[in-house]
Amino acid sequence: MNFEFTEEQQMIQQTAREFAQNEIAPSSVDRDKNAEFPTEIVKKLGELGFMGMMVSPDYDGAGLDTICYVLAMIEISKIDASVGVIMSVNNSLVCAGLEKYGSDHIKETYLKPLARGDKLGAFALSEPEAGSDATQQRTTAEKEGDYWILNGMKNWITNGLSADYHIVMAQTDKEKGHKGITAFVVEKGWEGFGHGQKEDKLGIKSSDTCSLTFENVKVPEENVIWEVGKGFNFAMNILNGGRYGIASQAIGIAEASLEAATKYSKQRKAFGTEIANHQAIQFKLADMATKIEAAKLLTLQAAGMRDAGKKYVKEAAMAKLYSSQIAVECALEAIQIHGGYGYVREYLVERYLRDAKITEIYEGTSEIQRIIIARELLRD
């Protein structure tokens, strides 16, 4: 395994770091407080090539490898995990899905503007009664001439309000169970396509999350992704790829927690010295740093395997499971080290905890990751 980053990977990491510091950090506290979507920042991320990082230049993407994507996601999420998830959904769920499984029409019409960052995407799988048990889709699509008529509801959709194009999974043949699910591209603004209220969340408040509703929405046949009946396999394959994105988001939050805790412990004095001189604090910092390195190695391994064209299902699930767990742990320890100051908004660490928790839930809960890992182990 090569532990050195290429010049290109280092350059992307540096670019992401500078962009996050200069363009994202100044508004992050206010956007979190006001639950405000970072419209201008997302536009600039597009100009930088960060909204379609792994998409081929043939489809207006940046043509970078998965390692570059992981490094950029960590740097962006370290400053603002809300921006991280917006970027992650567009890159690893929407663009990756359309590039791998979309027809020429879909790639020309939808992938190109999404990869350029001119348009934003969302991935609509979850429903009120189909979360972890994603086969239980109630949203239906019935064929009528050259159109599919979509009816139903989706829940917890990241970018739900802001996205222009939505990948929507729906039941097209109930008798066939998960083999009767189909994926479609649906445009915002089509008649009958609505949304619920913006969810008032614990964390990642600057990203928008809402439910989507479909009332006799007419979707052209050419907007079917891959093939009729392949929608569940499509969603599963794409979610494998999403998971190193969320793992990277979690690592960014964990790194931010460690940095804040280290800085504070060198300033704060107790019992006649900086608290960094107390072993109780040193042990916490050492454990946080060790866990972050382990999470990074797992995530870079999954990314490297994808770049090498290898199967990475188990590795991506391990990366997400572990990175999300240590993000919560590191945020909690950062609060503990800050004491009372960690519990108020003046310091950022309370936000890190609020932002970290969702990484154990979306794109497959930790329990689902364990199921995926165990199934892969038992299959070997």
Catalytic residues: 363
Q: Please report the beta strands in the chain, taking only residues with DSSP state E, as ranges in sequence order.
A: 121-124, 140-144, 147-158, 165-171, 181-187, 193-195, 209-220, 224-225, 269-270, 273-274
Among 27, 135, 262, 366, binds ligand CAA (CB under 6 A): 135
Among 15, 233, 277, 301, binds ligand CAA (CB under 6 A): 233
Binding-site string for ligand CAA from residue 77 to residue 116, where x marks contact by CB under 6 A and - marks none:
------------x---------------------------
> Min. distance of Cβ 158 from ligand CAA in angstroms?
3
> Min. distance of Cβ 355 from ligand CAA in angstroms?
13
Our finding on whether 240 is near ligand CAA (CB under 6 A) is yes
Site for ligand CAA in 144-173 (CB under 6 A): 157-158
Give the pair of three-digit tokens for residue 376. 């892969």
Of the candidates 271, 270, 283, 288, which has an alpha carbon nearest to the alpha carbon of residue 349?
Answer: 288
CB 21 within 8 A of CB 80: no
Residue type, 100: K
Our finding on whether 123 is near ligand CAA (CB under 6 A) is yes
Binding-site string for ligand CAA from residue 262 to residue 281, where x marks contact by CB under 6 A and - marks none:
--------------------
Residue nearer to ligand CAA on the CB measure, 123 or 264: 123
CB 232 within 8 A of CB 178: yes
* Whole-angstrom distance, CA of residue 163 vs CA of residue 118: 11
Give φ, ψ of 318 to 5 degrees.
-65, -40
Looking at 37-45, 109-117, 126-134, 336-344, which segment touches ligand CAA (CB under 6 A)? 126-134
3-state secondary structure of 127: strand
* Whole-angstrom distance, CA of residue 313 vs CA of residue 171: 25
Our finding on whether 366 is near ligand CAA (CB under 6 A) is no
Which residues contribute to the site for ligand CAA (CB under 6 A)?
A: 89, 123, 125-126, 132-135, 157-158, 178, 232-233, 236-237, 239-240, 313, 362-364, 368, 371-372
